[in-house]
Amino acid sequence: MSTLITNIAELMTQDAEHRVLRAAAVVIEGERIAWLGAAEDAPAADEAVDAGGRALLPGWVDSHTHLIFAGDRTAEFEARMAGESYSAGGIAVTTGATRSTSDFDLTRLAMGRVAEAVAQGTTYLETKTGYGLDVENEARSARIASTVADEVTFLGAHLVPAGMDAGEYTELVCGPMLSAVRPFVRWADVFCERGAFTEDQSRRVLRACKDAGLGLRVHGNQLGEGPGVRLAVEFGAASVDHVNYLSSADIDALAASWSGWDAGTGRHGTVATCLPACDLSTRQPLAPGRELLDAGVQLALASNCNPGTSYTSSMAFCVTTAVLQMRLSVHEAVRAATYGGALALGREAGNDADGERAVGSIAVGHRADLHLLKAPSATHLAYRPGIPLTHAVWRAGVRAR
Ligand code: NIG
């Protein structure tokens, strides 16, 4: 089955050449993109969709979410808006609610959140464990996550549960918990921050998870300067996420991780993932996305959808904020929310590990993950803040909205 999408006013490919085509068309064949170019040259297909002079982008790649949870933290949010500061301790509230929720309900809740994201243009999505915090509940979260998300990350090292010794808990994470989640996850993460895991504990977790064959990510430098970025680069993590408080040495280390990078080899540096919705919801300073890009760091934007610090799955909101507040251009922000997310997940074009699953850019052979805006150009994402601009979504070639 093939589908021709034609009469596209602006086709933002986010491909290797950063091409933006006008008066364009795309052909989908099964799950993949089979052709793109000038609308007047388009081949015939089984069906045709008139884009009506709208803009077409790659679907959003949301590389950082925490969707496996139950419960509500409205009261904590209200307290924060009244002047309280965020601390990692709120994670325990969600852990309690999550543990007492059935598999069926946890799955239903997570599926609802994924559906909400897809309806807003997200076509590839990572999610994490981290609200189980014991062997049984982390394994259960990982199993459920693997049924609802494209990529799953083990975040047993999210918070030391109340009443447990931090050292003993770290050993539990690195031993029985890691073994129990291993069949369901591709990535591991650690919340390296005051109030969560120290540098030594984080190092222990990263080493064990790397030895177990997992790719690495780090929650780092969210609440203050610290060792997160340094550790992420040292361990060759695919991404370090939050990055609000960076020293010049941190920025230099991230930039150095990309020196000599050759797009298409699959081997690359550490992506800095900015989470602007989280920054606003926690009243932290926005991550220095402009400075990172100017230094040569590859950037991703992600929603960080979770009940504590960022209860939104809106990637468009993140893009809008990145343009209006972080001083990214529209093209840079869209790139970070599509290709950047793919890079952070090792799913970019040319990644030798899994070339078949290239997402985050529109090119022949890539997964047909497409987002048709209710607007003639991507600029409208920033020009019309807060307006829902998703007109249609294709996920792996299937019309999802
Ligand atoms: O990415 N920072 C750590 N983890 C989440 C927040 C989790 C929570 O407070 O429930 C985050 O912001």
CATH number of the 2-58+362-399 domain? 2.30.40.10
Beta carbon of 304 within 6 Å of any ligand 1 atom: yes
Tens-place pLDDT, residues 99-113: 999 999 999 999 999
Beta carbon of 131 within 6 Å of any ligand 1 atom: no
In angstroms, the Cα distances linking 366 to 8, 42, 61, 254 are 19, 18, 14, 28
Beta carbon of 91 within 6 Å of any ligand 1 atom: yes
Beta carbon of 306 within 6 Å of any ligand 1 atom: yes
pLDDT class for 89, splitting at 50, 70, 90? confident
CA–CA dist 125, 382 (Å, integer): 23
∠ CA 169-175-176 to the nearest 5 degrees? 90
CATH number of the 60-357 domain? 3.20.20.140
pTM given for the model: 0.97
CA–CA dist 36, 48 (Å, integer): 14
Helix axes 103-119 and 135-148, enclosed angle (nearest 10)? 40
CA 280 / ligand 1 centre spacing (Å)? 13
Nearest CA to ligand 1 atom 11: 309
CA 202 / ligand 1 centre spacing (Å)? 16
Domains of the chain, residue spans: 2-58+362-399, 60-357
- Atom of ligand 1 at shortest distance to CA of 91? 10
- Residue 348 φ then ψ, to 5°: -75, 165
| Pairing state between β 187-192 and 215-220 | parallel
Which of 68, 91, 202, 217 is the best mutation target for the ligand 1 pocket, counting ligand atoms within 8 Å of the beta carbon and taking the most? Answer: 91
Tens-place pLDDT, residues 195-219: 999 999 999 999 999 999 999 999 9
Residue 340 confidence (pLDDT): 98
Residue 59 confidence (pLDDT): 98
